[in-house]
Amino acid sequence: MSNILNYIEENPKQTQTLIGLEYEQLQQLILNAERLYHEKKASLESKKVRIIAGGGGRKPKLSIPEQIILTLVYLRHLTTFQLLGIQFEVSESTANDIFNYWLPNLRELLPSSLLEQVKKNASDYEVVKQILTEYELIVDSYEQVRERPGDNNEQKKYFSGKKSNHTFKTQMIILPDASDIVDVVAGEPGPKSDITMFREYRSEFDAKQKIKGDKAYIGEDLITTPIKKPRNQELTIEQKELL
């Protein structure tokens, strides 16, 4: 058992701080995740033509509860896969593989954003999009180091000159008081520009949606960005009020 899982079992009241869920919610999530894992595994097994009996092969290094917690720790603290590997006593690439396996599965079990919770119901989705126009949302994105892909073309796609490393990019859109995550896009190539990434998903928002972002989004008409101070000049009172 990993140190973090062991700590949670001994200190259940600290679960919220560590992974963003209450202990009882974590237990229910693990049960649902194990059920989903076995259902998908059974479905894959039924389609295989086996030469030898099933049940062989290398055993996973982490149990399903440990894999779930590894994924939640990443999402909660945005740590590196290298540190995750050290914490869970697996390699950096194994930590990365576990995260990328469970992220889409957890989206089925635990919607990570307001939009994802309503996307399955078209009428609810449209209502929420309209409600969101009453707020000025905040958008930002960040890069997270990943392992170097083995394929040469793939590694070029993920190499970020800004970070001098191979990276993933994540975009988050939140309510102005940060009380809720409105939308999350994860796993995009790190070198992709912030504004390009936003434009690929802007159709998920109403055309009148107001959004605030940093200077990386200058040129996007949906996003209000900071006004750059002209050389040797001062900003007007009106411009300062927009900062």
Report the distance separating Cα 99 and Cα 163, nearest Å.
21
Angle at 85 between CA 84 and CA 89, to 5 degrees: 120
Residue whose C-alpha is closest to residue 30's, from 133, 110, 85, 111: 110
86-134 tens-digit pLDDT: 999 999 989 989 988 888 888 777 766 777 767 767 788 888 899 999 9
Could you tell me the two tokens for 199?
């434009």
Residue whose C-alpha is closest to residue 16's, from 8, 87, 111: 8
| Radius of gyration for the alpha carbons in the chain, expressed in angstroms and rounded | 21
Q: How far apart are the first and last CA of the chain?
A: 49
Across the chain, mean pLDDT equals 84
Residue with tokens 């914490």: 87
Burial class (CB in 10 A: 0-12, 13-18, 19+), 87: middle
**By percentage, how much of the chain surpasses pLDDT 70?**
86
Q: For residue 58, is pLDDT > 70?
A: no
Q: For residue 234, is pLDDT > 80?
A: no
Mean per-residue pLDDT for 224-229?
A: 77
Q: For residue 169, is pLDDT > 70?
A: yes
Residue whose C-alpha is closest to residue 1's, from 60, 65, 59: 65
Is residue 126 left, alpha or beta, with left meaning phi > 0 and alpha meaning psi from -120 to 50?
alpha
Report the distance separating Cα 184 and Cα 204, nearest Å.
11
Mean per-residue pLDDT for 160-167?
A: 90
Q: For residue 74, is pLDDT > 90?
A: no
8-47 tens-digit pLDDT: 999 999 998 888 788 998 998 999 999 989 888 888 777 6
